[in-house]
Amino acid sequence: MSEVAIKIEDVTKIYRLYKRPMDRLKESMSLIRKKEYHHKFYALKNINLEILKGESIGIIGRNGSGKSTLLKIISGVLTQSEGNVYVDGKVSALLELGTGFNPEYTGIENIYANGLIMGYNKKEMDKRVDSIIDFAQIGEYIDQPVKTYSSGMFARLAFATAINVDPEILIVDEVLAVGDSKFQIKCINKMEEFKASGKTVLFVSHTLEQIKRFCTKGVWIDKGVMRMVGEVNHVIDMYESEILRESMEQKAAESGSSPVNMAELETNLGKLKSVSCNSEELTTFDDFIVDIEYELYDDISSKPLVGVAFYTIDRQYIFGPNTYLDGVDIPQTKGIHRVSYVVPKLPLLGGKYEVDIGLFANKSIVNLDYNTCAFVITVSADYFTEGLVHMEHHWEIIEEGIENGKKISC
């Protein structure tokens, strides 16, 4: 059985935009001469993405970046203009509020209608309807037309229906934003259960903390183009850094000062000069030491921080400490500075691991310099336990065994 839940190959979505409604008619009547009265808008352009079964993916980007378009193509609501999409599993999608619901139907009627769309008959939905009503908690309104619902009631019913029809793939697009905090927590907890059962989740939210908490991988889409795919915290850090740069440029423009070249500004703030480690060939429980030399080209008001991140060779995130989270203040004045990161008795078990080094400011929002895969370390170990890391532990015998009516020591 394939481990891939969704595979997207060179997907492009093009919309034809017309200045006037009459132009659409003119174009349809000039098919022989093929005169065009439209211009093309690329909602998505050459998107490639592979999502494995059981992964939880957070999709981020500005409004209008193409996030919802991508989810609609995956769920079958839209068809791509170019490329291929392969989906292995039953999909339940919560897209923009109201998608899939008939406003004239009551809540209970919409539950059964959505179940029918998912391939369940009435008898099968009878077994699920109580769970859906209990989760939605909209009381007597369940028998009222959904056009009378508030946005919060609508969202509760939509989420309850989607999560209880046993899909293999769940798509959630900003629906949680209209609910109260209690409902959002309830939904996230339910999604955690869904994820723990090995299902696949695609989650779009402008509340980045929700994505950090729930997702393991981040996908950043910007103006229809895939900007970055990777470990969720790193992708969000890069996205927030971009937002901050644009905000500073806008403030500079509004104040009438010279335009700010943010690429130069980042370079002028500082960079990693050199990184080295005591050894790239280690044994479990050896000391591992990373020496980091960084340079600041000016005094900076926000405290800089240095981070070290450990990944498996296939970029699964293991551990990522930094000086800010550990409460360590490093020099923030102009000049060259050096810090050491020390892991006494490295607990990694046998295998190859990648080590990233980063220099940041503003609590890691601003990326000054980042060295992906600064080292590949090889760790060897005798067979004394299993997994990725060794955790300190001990065993305790809390009962003695009984054999033939006599106590025996274990």
Q: pLDDT (tens digit, 9 = 90+) per residue, 112-125?
A: 888 887 778 888 88
pLDDT at 340: 94
In this prediction, residues 348-354 reach a mean pLDDT of 92
103 or 47: which leads in pLDDT: 47
> Token pair 């001469």 is at which residue?
33
Q: CA-CA distance, 218 to 389, in Å (whole number)?
A: 24
Q: Which of 372, 375, 292, 274 lies closest to 331, judged by CA?
A: 292
Domains contained in the chain, CATH given: 269-380 (2.70.50.60)
Nearest-Å Rg of the Cα atoms of the chain is 27
pLDDT at 317 over 90: no
pLDDT at 193: 85
Give the per-residue pLDDT at 266: 45
| CA dist., res. 67 & res. 226, Å (int) | 10
For the segment 315-343, the average pLDDT, to the nearest whole number, is 90
Q: Average pLDDT in the 169-185 region?
A: 72
**pLDDT category of residue 403 using cuts at 50, 70 and 90:** low
pLDDT at 219: 94
CB 244 within 8 A of CB 269: no
Give residue 24's pLDDT: 79
Q: Alpha-carbon torsion 318, 389, 52, 196, what sign?
A: negative
pLDDT of residue 201: 92
Closest C-alpha to 366, from 244, 252, 268, 250: 244
| Predicted local confidence at residue 360, as pLDDT | 84
Residues 181/160, Cβ–Cβ less than 8 Å: no
The token pair at 296 is 């600041």
Q: 225 pLDDT band (50/70/90 cuts)?
A: very high
**Percentage of the chain with pLDDT > 70?**
85
Confidence of residue 96 (pLDDT cuts 50, 70, 90): low
- At 67 the pLDDT is 92
What is the phi/psi pair of residue 402, to 5°? -120, 125
Q: What backbone phi and psi angles, to 5 degrees, belong to 109?
A: -65, -35
As a whole number of angstroms, the distance between CA 253 and CA 336 comes to 32
pLDDT at 248 over 50: yes
Number of continuous H segments (helices) and E segments (strands) in the chain: 9, 19
Residue 133 has pLDDT above 80, yes or no: yes
Structure-model confidence comparison of residues 317 and 29, the more confident one = 317
pLDDT bin (cut points 50, 70, 90) of residue 211 is: confident
Is it the case that residue 35 has pLDDT exceeding 50? yes
- Any idea what the Cα angle at residue 266 is, between residues 264 and 272, rounded to 5°? 120
Most distant CA atoms of the chain, gap in Å: 100
- Judged against a pLDDT cut of 60, whether residue 190 lies above it is answered with yes
Q: Give the integer Cα–Cα distance in Å for 321 and 307.
A: 6
Q: Taking the mean position of all CA atoms in its chain, how far away is CA 326?
A: 25
